[in-house]
Every structure is written in structure tokens, then in C-alpha cells.
Amino acid sequence: MAEIKYILKAVNSKADSSGNRYWAFKFTVCETGQEIKGYISGGESNIYGIKRHWNLVNDWDESIYFKREELKIREFDKLYKKIEYAGCLSEDIATFIRSRIEVN
């Protein structure tokens, strides 16, 4: 089993009156505690796919621990609605995260 280096949390809102769910993520670097948040278009599979595009394309990275959380719409909006858009495709979201990781 690989050492856990990152925690990736997919966060979605409960469905609104039209049935839409909104998605964001929080990526935590375990060594430093740095958190990177992004709002995305797409869904859980787009966020989970980061594991497949982190180090080598098409190679699932087991150093990323994945979890999911569903929030009430107002709570989701308060925590995630005003953050930066990170993209839609897993590759784009992974690039967004990599570009924001602080190097010591």
C-alpha cells in the first residue's frame, strides 16, 4: 500500500429545485497542510480522475486518498461558490492543483 501524501475531497451540493448539483474539491498536501480548493463543471468522476492523471497518465496514484462529502446548498455556496474555477476535465483539474502547490 502506498503512503498517503494527499487528501482529495469531492464536495457536492444537494440537488437544487431543478435537480442540478454543483461540484468542488479540496486537495490537501499532507506534509504541509496546504489546501487547494476549486469549483468545477462536471461531477465526482472528474474529480476522482485526478488520481489517474497525477503522476503518469493512465496510472492510478494510490498516494492520493479520496473521499466525498455532500452539503446543503447554502452551506456549499458559503464554502465553495466564490472560489476559483478549476476546469472540467480531470487533466485540467490536476494541472490547476499542481500549479498552486507551494514548494518549500
pLDDT digits (tens, 9 = 90+) for 52-71: 888 766 677 889 999 999 99
Cα 36 to Cα 33: distance, rounded to the nearest angstrom: 10
Is there a domain that residue 23 lies in? yes
Print the domain residue range for 40. 6-98
pLDDT of residue 31: 95
- Per the structure, how many domains does the chain have? 1
pLDDT of residue 56: 66
60, three cell numbers? 492510478
Is there a domain that residue 39 lies in? yes
Would the pLDDT of 6 be above 80? yes
Is there a domain that residue 61 lies in? yes
